[in-house]
Amino acid sequence: MSHTADDAAEPSQPEEREALALPPKSYAEAAEEALNGESHHEATDGTKEKKAKNIGNLQTNGKIRIPSGRQDKEQTELEGAGQDNSPKSPTRGHRRKVSLKLNGSAGRKQGEHLSNGTKEPLTSVKLDKDDDDDDDDDQTVARRKEGTPKKRRGSSLKSGRQAGASWQKSKIRWAPLNVPLQRRLQTLAVLMHTLSIAGTVAIFFFLCTVPLLWPILFPYVIYVLFSNAGTSGELSFRSDRIRRLPVWSLFASYFPARLHRSQELEPTRKYIFGYHPHGIISHGAFAAFATEALGFSQLFPGITNTLLTLDANFRLPLYREYALRMGLASVSRESCVNILSKGGRNGEGMGRAITIVVGGARESLDAQPGTLRLVLRRRKGFVKMAIRTGADLVPVLAFGENEIYEQVDAHSHPYVHKLQMLVKKLMGFTVPLFHARGIFNYDVGMMPYRRPLNIVVGRPIQILQNQDPSKDYVDEVHDQYVTELVRLWDDHKDTFAPERTGELEIVE
């Protein structure tokens, strides 16, 4: 009876509950109360009539139909399949589990409210999925009905970085791998000569780390320090076989380099070749006058030429041997006099020649591509040497010597230039800040560029020998020499220097 009293106290019909200002009950709660009421009546009365009466009341009220016996099983199957006329709430045995969201509601959106019959706000039971469907447009709904998935945010195709793009944008141009073997050998030959000083000195110090070699190396160092082979003028260590090695042909063809003559030279006279410009390392002078790669003996038969270099190079262990075998000699006054006054056809230097890079280390600081700035106006020592020894002066102009390297411009960096001049004054040599290409690239390194070298030998200026020449005669010969040098430039600049940015200029 208590159950009946509770039902009377709290009606289930929506109209009655609204009249009593009670919130509506859900179908699940009504079904649960009906099931509880059925169990209560079966336990107290035990009669089928009361059970049928309760079922009838439930059917009359429109809440839920509870079958009995065999009908219970069939009705339960219909309810589970959703094919009966009862409300679509699950049965007691298959109650749906309510999922809880972070806001504490089951399938509700936070902040959305409805109102019941008492004008009190109620939390909406609209699911997020339904709310999203309402926001979609007609085209999206049609696409979903057709089975096409909705396009998610950020689902468009996006590519990552392109592999190798940084190499294509790099300012360094790398050499390809499929370079012919001959070009690789040319590069190796130039690299060997460029690093000849550093390489031989490094090998010597490596040998010094072997104690077993000390008894040999110590006397050798003493011999190098006191040897006069670089200044004696005897040329006893000179080897024509080494000068004609195929490696020097590879060296000269790297640029490539060519030797040109303006006039034949008589082998019965002596000569002083003045080489211009100095450049950075004077690769053209080495190829033309220290080797037979360019055919010097064919163009000037009967003349033995010697390229002169710094006397300090003949005090370097191992490199000294390399320089003497190539026929190099010291540029000192003693060496020049001995070479031009000893040996030759008559024992007095007939048929001998020396090559002097007149501009020297000072001129290397002005070596810029496209220009030709010569240090020559005050350089008259080689003219006096020619007059004292009776050697004819032959100007030589190397087109392209300044183009094979690039260095810091003295006008753009005056403080760097002043520091270089200070080093030249204190140490006797300069340190040009230069660069060119590398072994495997075309932009960074100490290897010279592959740019043509054309060494043009001018006409000889005959000299009257005089052991005590006057200043006027020295100036006269010097002017003749400069005139012939300018003629070489004017005659061949359009052929060998078409991309020049300036004309020949004598700065000092």
Q: How many CB atoms lie under 10 A from the CB of residue 320?
A: 20
Q: Are strands 113-115 and 121-123 parallel, antiparallel or unpaired?
A: antiparallel
Q: Which of 393, 300, 289, 389 is nearest to 338 (CA)?
A: 389
Q: Average the pLDDT over 421-437 and give the result.
A: 82
Query: Cis peptide leading into 256, omega within 30 of 0?
Result: yes
The Cα–Cα gap between 412 and 415 comes to 9
pTM (two decimals): 0.67
Q: Which of 208, 194, 161 is nearest to 286 (CA)?
A: 194
Q: Between these two residues, 486 and 104, which has the higher pLDDT value?
A: 486
Percent over 70 (pLDDT), the chain? 70
Q: Which pLDDT score is estimated for 7?
A: 47
Query: Cis peptide leading into 277, omega within 30 of 0?
Result: yes
Taking only the tens place, the pLDDT of each residue in 401-427 is: 999 999 888 778 888 888 888 887 887
Q: Between these two residues, 347 and 219, which has the higher pLDDT value?
A: 219
- On whether the CB atoms of residues 430 and 363 are closer than 8 A, the answer is no
Q: Between these two residues, 421 and 253, which has the higher pLDDT value?
A: 253
Q: How many CB atoms lie under 10 A from the CB of residue 48?
A: 11
Alpha-carbon distances, residue 177 vs 164, 169, 183, 184, 197 (angstroms): 16, 19, 11, 10, 29
Residue 17 has pLDDT above 90, yes or no: no
The Cα–Cα gap between 88 and 81 comes to 10
Q: Crossing angle, helix 214-226 and helix 196-208, to 10 degrees?
A: 140
Reported confidence tier of residue 60, pLDDT bands at 50, 70, 90 = very low
The answer to whether the Cα torsion of 126, 127, 131, 133 is positive or negative is: negative
Q: Which pLDDT score is estimated for 217?
A: 96
Residues 6+ apart with CB under 8 A from 474: 380, 383, 384, 387
Taking only the tens place, the pLDDT of each residue in 81-112 is: 445 555 554 454 445 544 444 444 444 444 44
- On whether the CB atoms of residues 401 and 283 are closer than 8 A, the answer is yes
Taking only the tens place, the pLDDT of each residue in 172-204 is: 888 888 889 999 999 999 999 999 999 999 999
Q: Which pLDDT score is estimated for 81?
A: 47
Percent over 90 (pLDDT), the chain? 53
The Cα–Cα gap between 244 and 261 comes to 20
Residue 146 has pLDDT above 90, yes or no: no
Q: Average the pLDDT over 245-262 and give the result.
A: 96
The Cα–Cα gap between 419 and 401 comes to 24
The Cα–Cα gap between 504 and 500 comes to 10
Reported confidence tier of residue 487, pLDDT bands at 50, 70, 90 = very high
The answer to whether the Cα torsion of 189, 195, 197, 200 is positive or negative is: negative
Q: Average the pLDDT over 202-230 and give the result.
A: 95
Residues 6+ apart with CB under 8 A from 171: 443
- On whether the CB atoms of residues 434 and 406 are closer than 8 A, the answer is yes
The Cα–Cα gap between 403 and 497 comes to 10
The Cα–Cα gap between 434 and 365 comes to 10
- Average pLDDT score over the chain: 80
Residues 6+ apart with CB under 8 A from 95: 28
What is the 3-state composition of the chain as percent helix, strand, coil, each rounded to the nearest 5? 45, 15, 45
Q: Determine the residue type at 425.
A: K
Q: Which pLDDT score is estimated for 176?
A: 85
Reported confidence tier of residue 353, pLDDT bands at 50, 70, 90 = very high
Q: Determine the residue type at 209.
A: T
DSSP string across 256-300: TEEEEESS---TTS-EEEEEE---SS-HHHHHHHSSSTT-HHHHS
Q: Which of 435, 443, 449, 446 is nearest to 172 (CA)?
A: 443
Q: Which pLDDT score is estimated for 150?
A: 57
HEC secondary structure over 427-458:
HCCCCCCEECECCCECCCCCECCCCCEEEEEC
Residue 371 phi, psi (nearest 5)? -125, 165
Q: Determine the residue type at 217.
A: L
The residue with tokens 């063809």 is 253
- On whether the CB atoms of residues 230 and 223 are closer than 8 A, the answer is no
Q: Which pLDDT score is estimated for 425?
A: 80
Task: Label residue 175 left, alpha or beta by phi (over 0 means left) and psi (-120 to 50 means alpha).
Answer: beta
